[in-house]
Amino acid sequence: MEPQQKPQVQQAEQPTPEKEVSLRNRNLYEKAKISNKALDAIIVVGVIALIIVLLVGLNHRGFNVTFDSLGGTDVPSQTHMYDEAVEEPAAPTREGYTFGGWYLDKDFQEPWVFDVNTVGSDIKLYAKWNPA
């Protein structure tokens, strides 16, 4: 009887750590037509931009809404977040005049409608006065 011969199995080459990194990077970017350095730079810039956006968002305390009564009684300012409605303050008073509403401009062309308009930035509203 002949002794059984073991089939020869070739051992696969064990990748070195450098080869593993190279293989991972190649697989990660193999379909991209851009260099690894350029993609890495894009990722770094994206992460930095995300951090900046988060910091600005966390530090933002809302938009200021100030009321200029144009000679009438003082009206306290308000702070609101984006797209929030402004609370209509008590109407100011001014001797010899009746209050005609709040406007976005001193020419009284753009009325502020408290039930409709919302805040998107710091704003200043002006009181319109009609002679009594």
Same structural domain for residues 80 and 124? Answer: yes
Q: How far apart are CA 119 and CA 83, in angstroms?
A: 5
36 within some domain:
yes
Structure-model confidence comparison of residues 16 and 91, the more confident one: 91
Q: Is the pTM of this model over 0.75?
A: no
What pLDDT score was predicted for residue 19?
A: 60
Segment among 34-38, 64-68, 122-126 with least mean pLDDT: 34-38
Query: pLDDT tens digits for 80-122?
Result: 988 999 999 999 999 999 999 999 999 999 999 999 999 999 9
Q: Is residue 6 part of a domain?
A: no
* DSSP element (H, E) containing 26: helix 17-29
User: What is the model's pLDDT at position 30?
Assistant: 65
The reply to whether 46 and 67 lie within a common domain is: no
Amino acid at 86: V
Same domain membership, residue 22 and residue 39:
yes
Q: Which domain holds residue 28?
A: 17-59
Q: Are 108 and 79 members of one domain?
A: yes
Residue 12 has pLDDT above 80, yes or no: no
In tens, the pLDDT along 52-87 reads 888 877 666 889 999 999 999 999 999 998 899 999
Is 67 found in the same domain as 53?
no
Tokens 């002006």 correspond to 126
Give me the CATH number covering residue 114. 2.60.40.4270
Does 7 reside within a domain?
A: no
> Looking at the predicted structure, is the pLDDT value of residue 10 above 70?
no
**pLDDT tier, 14 (very low <50, low <70, confident <90, very high otherwise):** low
Same-domain pairing of 71 and 43 = no
In a domain, 79, yes or no: yes
At residue 113, the pLDDT reads: 96
Question: Which of 59, 77, 109 is the last residue before a domain boundary?
Answer: 59
**Do 54 and 90 fall within a single domain?**
no
Compute CA 120 distance to the chain's CA centroid, rounded to the nearest angstrom: 12
Give the residue from 59, 89, 112 where a domain finishes: 59
b/e string for 20-36 if b means 16 or more Cβ within 10 A? Answer: eeeeeeeeeeeeeeeee
